[in-house]
Protein backbone atom coordinates (compact mmCIF):
# COMPACT_ATOMS: atom_id res chain seq x y z
CA UNK A 1 0.00 0.00 0.00
CA UNK A 2 2.92 2.37 0.63
CA UNK A 3 4.64 1.72 -2.72
CA UNK A 4 8.40 1.63 -3.28
CA UNK A 5 9.56 5.03 -2.14
CA UNK A 6 8.71 6.76 1.16
CA UNK A 7 9.45 10.33 2.14
CA UNK A 8 9.36 10.74 5.94
CA UNK A 9 8.97 14.34 7.09
CA UNK A 10 9.70 15.88 10.46
CA UNK A 11 8.07 19.33 10.14
CA UNK A 12 9.47 22.64 11.23
CA UNK A 13 7.66 23.79 14.36
CA UNK A 14 7.62 27.39 13.26
CA UNK A 15 9.16 28.84 16.42
CA UNK A 16 12.44 30.74 16.47
CA UNK A 17 13.38 29.04 19.77
CA UNK A 18 12.95 25.60 18.20
CA UNK A 19 15.27 22.94 19.60
CA UNK A 20 17.02 21.13 16.78
CA UNK A 21 20.11 19.45 18.13
CA UNK A 22 18.57 15.97 18.31
CA UNK A 23 17.53 13.71 15.41
CA UNK A 24 13.81 12.89 14.95
CA UNK A 25 14.47 9.52 16.53
CA UNK A 26 10.83 8.39 16.88
CA UNK A 27 10.21 8.89 13.15
CA UNK A 28 13.50 7.14 12.35
CA UNK A 29 12.55 4.08 14.43
CA UNK A 30 9.20 3.87 12.60
CA UNK A 31 10.94 4.11 9.21
CA UNK A 32 13.44 1.44 10.25
CA UNK A 33 10.49 -0.94 10.69
CA UNK A 34 9.71 -0.85 6.92
CA UNK A 35 13.21 -0.58 5.53
CA UNK A 36 13.18 -4.18 4.28
CA UNK A 37 9.75 -3.76 2.65
CA UNK A 38 10.36 -0.73 0.40
CA UNK A 39 13.11 0.31 -2.00
CA UNK A 40 13.85 3.81 -0.79
CA UNK A 41 13.33 5.89 2.35
CA UNK A 42 14.25 9.57 2.59
CA UNK A 43 14.00 11.29 5.96
CA UNK A 44 13.72 15.07 5.76
CA UNK A 45 14.10 17.22 8.86
CA UNK A 46 12.47 20.52 7.96
CA UNK A 47 14.20 22.27 10.87
CA UNK A 48 17.31 22.29 8.68
CA UNK A 49 15.67 23.07 5.35
CA UNK A 50 15.60 26.52 3.84
CA UNK A 51 11.83 26.66 3.43
CA UNK A 52 8.81 24.46 4.01
CA UNK A 53 8.46 23.47 0.36
CA UNK A 54 8.53 19.67 0.01
CA UNK A 55 8.34 19.76 -3.81
CA UNK A 56 12.06 19.14 -4.33
CA UNK A 57 11.86 15.86 -2.40
CA UNK A 58 8.74 14.44 -4.05
CA UNK A 59 10.10 13.10 -7.34
CA UNK A 60 9.25 9.39 -7.58
CA UNK A 61 7.77 9.30 -4.06
CA UNK A 62 4.76 7.01 -3.50
CA UNK A 63 4.07 7.79 0.16
CA UNK A 64 4.73 10.74 2.45
CA UNK A 65 4.72 10.10 6.22
CA UNK A 66 4.50 13.17 8.46
CA UNK A 67 5.21 13.14 12.20
CA UNK A 68 2.99 15.32 14.40
CA UNK A 69 4.22 14.56 17.86
CA UNK A 70 4.05 17.85 19.72
CA UNK A 71 1.17 20.17 20.72
CA UNK A 72 0.16 22.20 17.65
CA UNK A 73 -1.56 24.88 19.68
CA UNK A 74 -5.15 26.05 20.16
CA UNK A 75 -5.50 27.53 16.63
CA UNK A 76 -5.05 24.05 15.11
CA UNK A 77 -8.64 23.21 16.13
CA UNK A 78 -9.72 25.97 13.71
CA UNK A 79 -7.47 24.67 10.97
CA UNK A 80 -4.64 27.16 11.49
CA UNK A 81 -1.22 25.53 11.88
CA UNK A 82 1.95 25.71 9.75
CA UNK A 83 2.08 21.91 9.87
CA UNK A 84 -1.30 21.73 8.06
CA UNK A 85 0.01 24.07 5.34
CA UNK A 86 2.91 21.71 4.74
CA UNK A 87 0.65 18.64 4.57
CA UNK A 88 -1.84 20.38 2.29
CA UNK A 89 0.88 21.13 -0.27
CA UNK A 90 1.52 17.40 -0.86
CA UNK A 91 0.13 16.73 -4.37
CA UNK A 92 -2.93 14.47 -4.78
CA UNK A 93 -2.00 10.95 -5.83
CA UNK A 94 0.74 10.60 -3.19
CA UNK A 95 -0.43 8.37 -0.35
CA UNK A 96 -0.25 10.55 2.78
CA UNK A 97 0.11 9.16 6.29
CA UNK A 98 0.22 11.27 9.46
CA UNK A 99 1.27 9.85 12.83
CA UNK A 100 2.53 10.81 16.28
CA UNK A 101 1.02 11.63 19.64
CA UNK A 102 -0.80 14.80 18.60
CA UNK A 103 -2.18 13.07 15.51
CA UNK A 104 -3.51 10.21 17.66
CA UNK A 105 -5.41 12.50 19.98
CA UNK A 106 -6.58 14.92 17.25
CA UNK A 107 -7.43 12.53 14.43
CA UNK A 108 -10.68 14.31 13.51
CA UNK A 109 -8.97 17.72 13.38
CA UNK A 110 -6.47 16.35 10.86
CA UNK A 111 -9.12 14.84 8.60
CA UNK A 112 -11.19 18.06 8.77
CA UNK A 113 -8.29 20.31 7.84
CA UNK A 114 -6.10 18.15 5.61
CA UNK A 115 -8.24 16.73 2.79
CA UNK A 116 -5.30 14.88 1.23
CA UNK A 117 -4.50 12.76 4.29
CA UNK A 118 -5.27 9.09 3.60
CA UNK A 119 -4.41 7.50 6.94
CA UNK A 120 -3.70 8.63 10.50
CA UNK A 121 -1.52 6.15 12.39
CA UNK A 122 -2.66 6.18 16.01
CA UNK A 123 -0.39 5.06 18.84
CA UNK A 124 2.95 3.27 18.40
CA UNK A 125 3.79 3.30 14.70
CA UNK A 126 6.35 0.54 14.11
CA UNK A 127 4.02 -2.45 13.70
CA UNK A 128 1.27 -0.41 12.04
CA UNK A 129 3.47 1.01 9.29
CA UNK A 130 4.81 -2.47 8.59
CA UNK A 131 1.31 -3.83 8.19
CA UNK A 132 0.36 -0.88 5.98
CA UNK A 133 3.33 -1.57 3.71
CA UNK A 134 2.15 -5.16 3.17
CA UNK A 135 -1.61 -4.56 3.06
CA UNK A 136 -3.90 -4.43 0.05
CA UNK A 137 -6.74 -2.86 2.05
CA UNK A 138 -7.06 -0.73 5.18
CA UNK A 139 -9.77 -2.97 6.64
CA UNK A 140 -8.86 -4.42 9.99
CA UNK A 141 -5.40 -2.82 10.35
CA UNK A 142 -5.16 -2.00 14.04
CA UNK A 143 -4.17 1.52 15.09
CA UNK A 144 -5.26 3.48 12.03
CA UNK A 145 -8.04 5.88 11.05
CA UNK A 146 -9.12 6.70 7.48
CA UNK A 147 -12.07 8.02 5.52
CA UNK A 148 -14.93 5.83 4.36
CA UNK A 149 -17.72 7.60 2.43
CA UNK A 150 -16.75 10.94 3.96
CA UNK A 151 -16.78 9.63 7.53
CA UNK A 152 -13.78 8.85 9.73
CA UNK A 153 -13.35 5.12 10.31
CA UNK A 154 -11.27 4.32 13.39
CA UNK A 155 -9.98 0.78 13.56
CA UNK A 156 -9.32 -0.85 16.94
CA UNK A 157 -6.25 0.40 18.84
CA UNK A 158 -3.17 -1.69 18.18
CA UNK A 159 -2.38 -4.28 20.82
CA UNK A 160 0.83 -3.64 22.72
CA UNK A 161 3.90 -5.14 21.11
CA UNK A 162 7.31 -5.38 22.78
CA UNK A 163 10.03 -3.02 21.61
CA UNK A 164 11.88 -4.63 18.76
CA UNK A 165 15.28 -6.06 19.61
CA UNK A 166 16.54 -5.90 16.04
CA UNK A 167 15.03 -2.81 14.40
CA UNK A 168 16.74 0.54 14.85
CA UNK A 169 17.42 3.59 12.68
CA UNK A 170 19.72 3.38 9.70
CA UNK A 171 22.12 6.23 10.45
CA UNK A 172 23.38 6.15 6.86
CA UNK A 173 20.08 7.77 5.79
CA UNK A 174 20.78 10.92 7.81
CA UNK A 175 21.15 14.11 5.81
CA UNK A 176 22.05 16.42 8.72
CA UNK A 177 24.69 16.89 11.40
CA UNK A 178 23.15 16.69 14.84
CA UNK A 179 25.35 18.33 17.45
CA UNK A 180 25.16 19.18 21.14
CA UNK A 181 24.04 22.80 21.10
CA UNK A 182 22.16 25.35 23.14
CA UNK A 183 20.84 28.70 21.95
CA UNK A 184 22.71 28.30 18.68
CA UNK A 185 26.10 27.65 20.28
CA UNK A 186 27.75 24.39 19.27
CA UNK A 187 29.49 22.58 22.13
CA UNK A 188 31.67 20.66 19.71
CA UNK A 189 30.18 17.15 20.12
CA UNK A 190 28.25 15.21 17.49
CA UNK A 191 25.02 13.80 18.94
CA UNK A 192 22.80 10.79 18.43
CA UNK A 193 19.89 9.25 20.33
CA UNK A 194 19.05 5.68 21.28
CA UNK A 195 15.82 4.33 22.76
CA UNK A 196 16.52 1.39 25.07
CA UNK A 197 13.14 1.15 26.82
CA UNK A 198 9.61 2.49 26.63
CA UNK A 199 7.24 3.57 29.41
CA UNK A 200 7.77 3.97 33.14
CA UNK A 201 6.35 2.01 36.10
CA UNK A 202 6.04 5.11 38.33
CA UNK A 203 2.94 7.31 38.55
CA UNK A 204 4.00 10.93 38.94
CA UNK A 205 0.81 12.96 38.64
CA UNK A 206 2.00 15.36 35.93
CA UNK A 207 3.54 12.71 33.69
CA UNK A 208 1.95 10.45 31.08
CA UNK A 209 4.85 8.06 30.50
CA UNK A 210 2.90 5.18 31.98
CA UNK A 211 0.09 5.41 29.40
CA UNK A 212 0.08 5.13 25.62
CA UNK A 213 -1.46 7.62 23.19
CA UNK A 214 -4.90 6.10 23.78
CA UNK A 215 -4.57 6.60 27.55
CA UNK A 216 -4.10 2.84 28.16
CA UNK A 217 -1.70 1.77 30.89
CA UNK A 218 1.45 0.39 29.34
CA UNK A 219 4.07 -1.80 30.92
CA UNK A 220 7.69 -0.73 31.06
CA UNK A 221 9.33 -2.44 28.07
CA UNK A 222 13.11 -2.75 28.00
CA UNK A 223 15.39 -3.92 25.20
CA UNK A 224 18.04 -6.45 26.13
CA UNK A 225 21.62 -5.23 26.78
CA UNK A 226 22.77 -7.17 23.68
CA UNK A 227 20.24 -5.38 21.47
CA UNK A 228 21.27 -1.97 22.87
CA UNK A 229 24.91 -2.81 22.17
CA UNK A 230 24.13 -3.90 18.62
CA UNK A 231 22.67 -0.45 17.98
CA UNK A 232 25.48 1.41 19.75
CA UNK A 233 28.00 -0.29 17.46
CA UNK A 234 26.37 1.58 14.55
CA UNK A 235 26.49 4.98 16.23
CA UNK A 236 29.33 7.28 15.16
CA UNK A 237 28.40 10.30 17.27
CA UNK A 238 30.54 11.17 20.28
CA UNK A 239 27.57 11.93 22.55
CA UNK A 240 24.52 9.68 22.90
CA UNK A 241 21.33 10.92 24.47
CA UNK A 242 19.33 7.98 25.79
CA UNK A 243 15.73 8.79 24.91
CA UNK A 244 14.11 6.61 27.61
CA UNK A 245 11.77 8.17 30.14
CA UNK A 246 14.02 6.58 32.75
CA UNK A 247 17.02 4.52 31.64
CA UNK A 248 17.67 3.15 35.12
CA UNK A 249 14.43 1.35 36.04
CA UNK A 250 16.34 -1.95 36.17
CA UNK A 251 19.84 -1.31 37.49
CA UNK A 252 20.93 -4.89 36.77
CA UNK A 253 20.18 -4.23 33.08
CA UNK A 254 22.13 -0.95 33.28
CA UNK A 255 25.06 -2.81 34.83
CA UNK A 256 24.96 -5.39 32.02
CA UNK A 257 24.92 -2.63 29.37
CA UNK A 258 27.93 -0.97 31.06
CA UNK A 259 29.79 -4.30 31.10
CA UNK A 260 29.25 -4.71 27.35
CA UNK A 261 30.23 -1.09 26.59
CA UNK A 262 33.45 -1.54 28.58
CA UNK A 263 34.19 -4.97 27.12
CA UNK A 264 33.80 -3.73 23.53
CA UNK A 265 35.71 -0.53 24.19
CA UNK A 266 32.85 1.68 22.99
CA UNK A 267 33.78 5.25 23.89
CA UNK A 268 30.86 7.64 24.09
CA UNK A 269 29.54 10.29 26.41
CA UNK A 270 26.08 9.15 27.45
CA UNK A 271 23.35 11.43 28.77
CA UNK A 272 20.24 10.03 30.43
CA UNK A 273 17.34 10.62 32.79
CA UNK A 274 17.00 8.68 36.03
CA UNK A 275 15.38 8.75 39.45
CA UNK A 276 17.33 9.32 42.64
CA UNK A 277 16.79 5.62 43.53
CA UNK A 278 19.93 4.83 41.50
CA UNK A 279 21.99 6.05 44.47
CA UNK A 280 21.11 2.74 46.18
CA UNK A 281 23.35 0.90 43.70
CA UNK A 282 26.89 2.26 44.05
CA UNK A 283 28.18 -0.92 42.37
CA UNK A 284 26.37 0.01 39.13
CA UNK A 285 27.13 3.74 39.52
CA UNK A 286 30.86 2.94 39.48
CA UNK A 287 30.41 0.99 36.23
CA UNK A 288 28.35 3.80 34.71
CA UNK A 289 31.10 6.26 35.55
CA UNK A 290 33.75 4.08 33.86
CA UNK A 291 31.57 3.36 30.81
CA UNK A 292 31.04 7.07 30.01
CA UNK A 293 27.56 7.62 31.45
CA UNK A 294 28.44 11.16 32.26
CA UNK A 295 25.41 13.43 32.26
CA UNK A 296 22.49 12.38 34.45
CA UNK A 297 19.30 14.39 34.79
CA UNK A 298 16.87 13.91 37.66
CA UNK A 299 13.24 15.02 37.90
CA UNK A 300 13.41 16.68 41.32
CA UNK A 301 10.51 19.09 40.70
CA UNK A 302 10.49 20.94 44.04
CA UNK A 303 12.30 21.76 47.27
CA UNK A 304 9.08 21.20 49.30
CA UNK A 305 7.89 17.88 50.69
CA UNK A 306 4.23 18.89 50.32
CA UNK A 307 4.66 19.42 46.56
CA UNK A 308 6.55 16.15 46.12
CA UNK A 309 3.64 14.41 47.80
CA UNK A 310 0.99 16.14 45.65
CA UNK A 311 2.98 15.13 42.55
CA UNK A 312 3.31 11.55 43.87
CA UNK A 313 7.07 11.58 43.32
CA UNK A 314 7.66 8.85 45.88
CA UNK A 315 10.54 10.61 47.66
CA UNK A 316 11.15 13.47 50.08
CA UNK A 317 13.60 16.37 50.18
CA UNK A 318 15.63 14.42 52.77
CA UNK A 319 15.80 11.42 50.40
CA UNK A 320 17.10 13.71 47.66
CA UNK A 321 19.82 15.08 49.95
CA UNK A 322 20.92 11.54 50.91
CA UNK A 323 20.99 10.41 47.29
CA UNK A 324 23.18 13.31 46.19
CA UNK A 325 25.65 12.55 48.99
CA UNK A 326 26.31 9.34 47.04
CA UNK A 327 25.98 10.70 43.49
CA UNK A 328 28.56 13.45 44.06
CA UNK A 329 31.28 10.82 44.59
CA UNK A 330 31.40 10.05 40.86
CA UNK A 331 32.43 12.05 37.79
CA UNK A 332 28.80 12.57 36.79
CA UNK A 333 27.58 15.92 35.58
CA UNK A 334 24.36 16.23 37.52
CA UNK A 335 21.25 18.06 36.36
CA UNK A 336 17.88 18.66 37.98
CA UNK A 337 14.47 19.40 36.50
CA UNK A 338 12.33 21.68 38.65
CA UNK A 339 8.78 22.95 38.26
CA UNK A 340 7.78 26.56 38.82
CA UNK A 341 4.17 26.98 39.99
CA UNK A 342 3.64 23.79 42.00
CA UNK A 343 0.31 23.65 43.80
CA UNK A 344 0.42 25.33 47.20
CA UNK A 345 3.89 26.85 46.79
CA UNK A 346 4.46 30.55 47.39
CA UNK A 347 7.22 32.67 45.82
CA UNK A 348 9.59 31.89 48.71
CA UNK A 349 9.17 28.13 48.17
CA UNK A 350 9.88 28.50 44.46
CA UNK A 351 12.89 30.77 44.91
CA UNK A 352 14.32 28.26 47.40
CA UNK A 353 14.83 25.76 44.55
CA UNK A 354 18.01 27.52 43.46
CA UNK A 355 19.59 27.28 46.93
CA UNK A 356 18.52 23.65 47.18
CA UNK A 357 20.05 22.85 43.77
CA UNK A 358 23.36 24.45 44.76
CA UNK A 359 23.36 22.61 48.07
CA UNK A 360 22.89 19.30 46.21
CA UNK A 361 25.88 20.10 43.99
CA UNK A 362 23.89 20.20 40.75
CA UNK A 363 25.82 21.36 37.70
CA UNK A 364 22.77 22.60 35.84
CA UNK A 365 19.03 22.96 36.30
CA UNK A 366 16.11 23.14 33.88
CA UNK A 367 12.98 24.96 34.96
CA UNK A 368 9.55 24.33 33.49
CA UNK A 369 5.97 25.19 34.36
CA UNK A 370 3.49 22.71 35.73
CA UNK A 371 1.76 21.35 32.60
CA UNK A 372 -1.17 19.07 31.97
CA UNK A 373 -0.02 16.37 29.53
CA UNK A 374 -2.58 14.22 27.73
CA UNK A 375 -3.15 11.09 29.82
CA UNK A 376 -1.67 12.50 33.05
CA UNK A 377 -3.66 12.62 36.29
CA UNK A 378 -2.90 16.28 36.89
CA UNK A 379 -6.20 17.59 35.56
CA UNK A 380 -8.05 15.86 38.42
CA UNK A 381 -5.58 17.27 40.94
CA UNK A 382 -6.11 20.82 39.60
CA UNK A 383 -9.88 20.36 39.79
CA UNK A 384 -9.52 19.63 43.51
CA UNK A 385 -7.58 22.86 44.15
CA UNK A 386 -9.73 25.99 43.85
CA UNK A 387 -7.89 29.01 42.44
CA UNK A 388 -5.73 26.91 40.07
CA UNK A 389 -6.39 26.92 36.32
CA UNK A 390 -5.15 25.36 33.10
CA UNK A 391 -4.15 27.84 30.39
CA UNK A 392 -5.60 27.43 26.90
CA UNK A 393 -2.13 27.46 25.36
CA UNK A 394 -0.04 24.86 23.54
CA UNK A 395 1.39 23.40 26.71
CA UNK A 396 -1.68 23.59 28.97
CA UNK A 397 0.34 25.36 31.66
CA UNK A 398 -1.06 25.62 35.17
CA UNK A 399 -1.45 29.02 36.82
CA UNK A 400 -3.25 30.32 39.90
CA UNK A 401 -5.14 33.42 40.97
CA UNK A 402 -2.16 34.32 43.14
CA UNK A 403 0.50 33.44 40.56
CA UNK A 404 -0.55 34.16 36.96
CA UNK A 405 1.80 33.01 34.18
CA UNK A 406 3.45 36.43 33.96
CA UNK A 407 4.47 36.27 37.62
CA UNK A 408 5.60 32.66 37.29
CA UNK A 409 7.79 33.69 34.35
CA UNK A 410 9.46 36.34 36.51
CA UNK A 411 10.04 33.83 39.31
CA UNK A 412 11.45 31.33 36.84
CA UNK A 413 13.97 33.89 35.58
CA UNK A 414 14.89 34.82 39.15
CA UNK A 415 15.57 31.17 40.07
CA UNK A 416 17.68 30.64 36.93
CA UNK A 417 19.63 33.88 37.52
CA UNK A 418 20.35 32.98 41.12
CA UNK A 419 21.56 29.51 40.14
CA UNK A 420 23.62 30.29 37.05
CA UNK A 421 25.20 33.61 38.11
CA UNK A 422 26.89 32.10 41.08
CA UNK A 423 30.51 31.05 41.85
CA UNK A 424 29.56 27.36 42.08
CA UNK A 425 29.26 27.36 38.26
CA UNK A 426 33.05 27.74 38.02
CA UNK A 427 33.37 24.44 39.87
CA UNK A 428 30.92 22.80 37.44
CA UNK A 429 32.75 24.13 34.38
CA UNK A 430 36.05 22.96 35.88
CA UNK A 431 34.61 19.49 36.52
CA UNK A 432 33.38 19.21 32.93
CA UNK A 433 36.74 20.33 31.51
CA UNK A 434 38.69 17.95 33.76
CA UNK A 435 36.41 14.95 33.16
CA UNK A 436 38.65 13.84 30.29
CA UNK A 437 35.73 14.00 27.84
CA UNK A 438 36.44 17.51 26.56
CA UNK A 439 39.19 17.74 23.91
CA UNK A 440 40.84 20.68 22.24
CA UNK A 441 38.72 20.17 19.10
CA UNK A 442 35.55 20.58 21.17
CA UNK A 443 36.79 23.84 22.67
CA UNK A 444 37.81 25.08 19.20
CA UNK A 445 34.39 24.22 17.76
CA UNK A 446 32.62 25.89 20.70
CA UNK A 447 34.61 29.10 20.32
CA UNK A 448 34.23 29.08 16.53
CA UNK A 449 30.48 28.64 16.74
CA UNK A 450 30.13 31.38 19.39
CA UNK A 451 32.07 33.74 17.11
CA UNK A 452 29.96 32.79 14.07
CA UNK A 453 26.78 33.33 16.06
CA UNK A 454 28.02 36.74 17.14
CA UNK A 455 28.84 37.55 13.50
CA UNK A 456 25.38 36.34 12.40
CA UNK A 457 23.94 38.81 14.89
CA UNK A 458 25.41 41.59 12.73
CA UNK A 459 23.55 40.33 9.64
CA UNK A 460 20.06 41.52 8.71
CA UNK A 461 17.52 39.42 10.60
CA UNK A 462 16.29 37.31 7.63
CA UNK A 463 19.86 36.40 6.62
CA UNK A 464 20.77 35.54 10.22
CA UNK A 465 17.72 33.23 10.45
CA UNK A 466 18.66 31.56 7.16
CA UNK A 467 22.24 31.13 8.31
CA UNK A 468 21.11 29.42 11.53
CA UNK A 469 18.67 27.15 9.73
CA UNK A 470 21.18 25.89 7.17
CA UNK A 471 24.10 25.52 9.54
CA UNK A 472 23.40 21.84 10.37
CA UNK A 473 23.02 20.56 6.81
CA UNK A 474 25.60 18.21 5.40
Whichever of 70 and 176 has its CB closer to ligand SF4, that residue is 70
CA distances from 223 to 130, 163, 378 (A): 20, 7, 30
From the list 83-91, 127-135, 203-211, 259-267, the region that binds ligand SF4 by CB under 6 A is 203-211
244 binds ligand SF4 (CB under 6 A): no
Radius of gyration of the chain (CA): 23
Max CA distance (Å), the chain? 67
From the list 13-21, 182-190, 196-204, 220-228, the region that binds ligand SF4 by CB under 6 A is 196-204
Whichever of 222 and 299 has its CB closer to ligand SF4, that residue is 299
Whether the Cβ atoms of residue 399 and residue 389 lie closer than 8 Å to each other: yes
Whichever of 188 and 299 has its CB closer to ligand SF4, that residue is 299
Residue 145 sits at φ, ψ, to 5 deg, of -130, 150
123 binds ligand SF4 (CB under 6 A): no
CB 452, min distance to ligand SF4, A: 37
278 binds ligand SF4 (CB under 6 A): no
CB 276, min distance to ligand SF4, A: 10
Whichever of 170 and 368 has its CB closer to ligand SF4, that residue is 368
Residue from 7, 200, 254, 288 touching ligand SF4 (CB under 6 A): that is: 200
CB 203, min distance to ligand SF4, A: 6
Sheet containing 293-301: give its strands across: 179-182, 185-194, 239-242, 269-274, 293-301, 333-340, 364-369
Residue from 186, 231, 246, 363 touching ligand SF4 (CB under 6 A): that is: 246
- Residue among 162, 129, 29 at smallest CA distance from 120: 129
Residue from 209, 354, 449, 471 touching ligand SF4 (CB under 6 A): that is: 209
CB 459, min distance to ligand SF4, A: 41
| C-alpha torsion sign, points 384, 385, 387, 393 | negative
- Start-to-end C-alpha separation, the chain: 32
202 binds ligand SF4 (CB under 6 A): yes
Whichever of 205 and 445 has its CB closer to ligand SF4, that residue is 205
245 binds ligand SF4 (CB under 6 A): yes
Whichever of 122 and 210 has its CB closer to ligand SF4, that residue is 210
Whichever of 12 and 218 has its CB closer to ligand SF4, that residue is 218
99 binds ligand SF4 (CB under 6 A): no
**Dist CA 66 CA 221 (whole Å):** 26
299 binds ligand SF4 (CB under 6 A): yes
Residue from 275, 412, 445, 469 touching ligand SF4 (CB under 6 A): that is: 275
**Dist CA 270 CA 295 (whole Å):** 6
342 binds ligand SF4 (CB under 6 A): no
**Dist CA 130 CA 40 (whole Å):** 14
Whichever of 203 and 331 has its CB closer to ligand SF4, that residue is 203
Residue 25-44 contact track with ligand SF4, rule CB under 6 A, x = bound: --------------------
CB 208, min distance to ligand SF4, A: 8
CB 206, min distance to ligand SF4, A: 7
From the list 35-43, 173-181, 204-212, 319-327, the region that binds ligand SF4 by CB under 6 A is 204-212
Size of the site for ligand SF4 (CB under 6 A): 10
Whichever of 66 and 248 has its CB closer to ligand SF4, that residue is 248
Binding site for ligand SF4 (CB under 6 A): 200, 202, 204, 207, 209-210, 245-246, 275, 299
Amino acid sequence: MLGKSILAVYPHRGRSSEVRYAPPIGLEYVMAAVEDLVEKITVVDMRFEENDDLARFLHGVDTVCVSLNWPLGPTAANGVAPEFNLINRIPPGIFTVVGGRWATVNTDVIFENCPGVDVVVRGDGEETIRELARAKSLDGIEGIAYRVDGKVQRNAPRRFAPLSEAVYPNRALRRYDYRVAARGIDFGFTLDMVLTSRGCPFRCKFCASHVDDFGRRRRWEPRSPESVLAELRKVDAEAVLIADNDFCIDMDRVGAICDLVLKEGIRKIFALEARIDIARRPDVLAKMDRAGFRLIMFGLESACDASLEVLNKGFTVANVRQAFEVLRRYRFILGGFFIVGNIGEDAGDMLRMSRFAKELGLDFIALSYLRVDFGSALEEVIARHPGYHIAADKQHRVWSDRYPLKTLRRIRHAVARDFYFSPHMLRSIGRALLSGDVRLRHVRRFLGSALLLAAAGLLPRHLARRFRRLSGRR
